Amino acid sequence: MHLKDKTAIVTGGSLGIGAAIARKLAENGANVAINYRKHDTEAKAVVADIEKHGVKGLAVQADVASFDDAQKMVDTVTKELGGLHILVCNAGINWDGVIWKMKEEQWDKVIDVNLKGYFNYARAVTPLFREQQYGKIINVTSINGLRGKFGQANYTASKGGIIAFTKTMARELGNKNINVNAVAPGLIETEMVAQMDETAKQRSLAEIIMGRLGQPDDIANVVTFFASDLSRHITGQVLNVDGGQLIA
């Protein structure tokens, strides 16, 4: 297995894409810790699935928007799981609205979770990764961070920021054997998408060349590749996993 003896953190790992990533990393041999804020039952279920693969699983209650919570989680994981090699930043929210009606709270909340949350965890792991001269950081962004999306100024700003953040970290950390890459999903069948307005969902589905919604495992497979040494000479890249949605 590609990830034997490696340990990973997956933020937002109790549901959707994050849960699929956590399970896939474990399937490939990694110990996996996930964070959750309020989905305690779901987080425990994911940990149970992780441990079915004969590896260690851990769920930590932590708010990704909290700088202190991020550091505490990294400290807990390194102590309880015996190290850390992979960081997958995935936790995200949306709170849509056109710019002329958007409230300050809408902007701040989405940026705090979707962008500052990625900084919090990267800042917590990079001293360790630099010291051990090894690490994999994979950031989950969105194709809407590349193209913009009506009614999502806050969300697309956060996702576009993640792309720039990824490229900057790749430049800063590459000489310490740390790979930093991003995965940009298109429309994926998750809890978030299930809550979309049906007209908007059908409009997005019509953009997808392959004519179907993506599945969480489609993202998890690519993240697992980036987390492995199969991708050792790839850094600073953004890979769209969207069934051709962005080029339609």
> Among 46, 16, 45, which Cα is nearest to 32's?
46
Beta strand extents in the chain (DSSP E only): 7-10, 31-36, 57-61, 86-89, 135-140, 178-185, 238-241
What is the sign, positive or negative, of the torsion defined by CA atoms of 74, 77, 79, 85? negative
pLDDT at residue 226, as a whole number: 98
User: What average pLDDT does range 97-121 have in this prediction?
Assistant: 98
Q: How far apart are CA 18 and CA 121, in angstroms?
A: 15
Q: Which residue has the higher pLDDT, 39 or 31?
A: 31
In this structure, the chain runs to a length of 248
Contact 10, 32 (CB under 8 A): yes
Q: Retrieve residue 53's tokens.
A: 């693969």
pLDDT at residue 238, as a whole number: 98
The domain spans of the chain are 7-241
Share of the chain above pLDDT 90, in %: 91
Question: Which residues are designated catalytic?
Answer: 155
pLDDT in tens, 142-175: 999 999 999 999 999 999 999 999 999 999 999 9
Q: Is the pTM of this model over 0.85?
A: yes
Q: How far apart are CA 109 and CA 47, in angstroms?
A: 28
Q: How far apart are CA 129 and CA 177, in angstroms?
A: 9
User: DSSP assignment of 147-193, as one string?
Assistant: H--TTBHHHHHHHHHHHHHHHHHHHHHGGGTEEEEEEEE-SB-SHHH
pLDDT at residue 160, as a whole number: 98
Q: How far is CA 232 from CA 29, 134, 179, 181, 228, in A?
A: 18, 10, 7, 11, 7
What kind of fold does domain 7-241 have according to CATH? Answer: Rossmann fold (3.40.50)
pLDDT band at residue 1 under the 50/70/90 scheme: low
**Amino acid at the residue 221:** N
pLDDT at residue 182, as a whole number: 98
Q: Indicate left, alpha or beta for 151 from its phi (over 0: left) and psi (-120 to 50: alpha).
A: left
Q: Which residue has the higher pLDDT, 22 or 203?
A: 22
> Among 61, 5, 1, 60, which Cα is nearest to 31's?
5
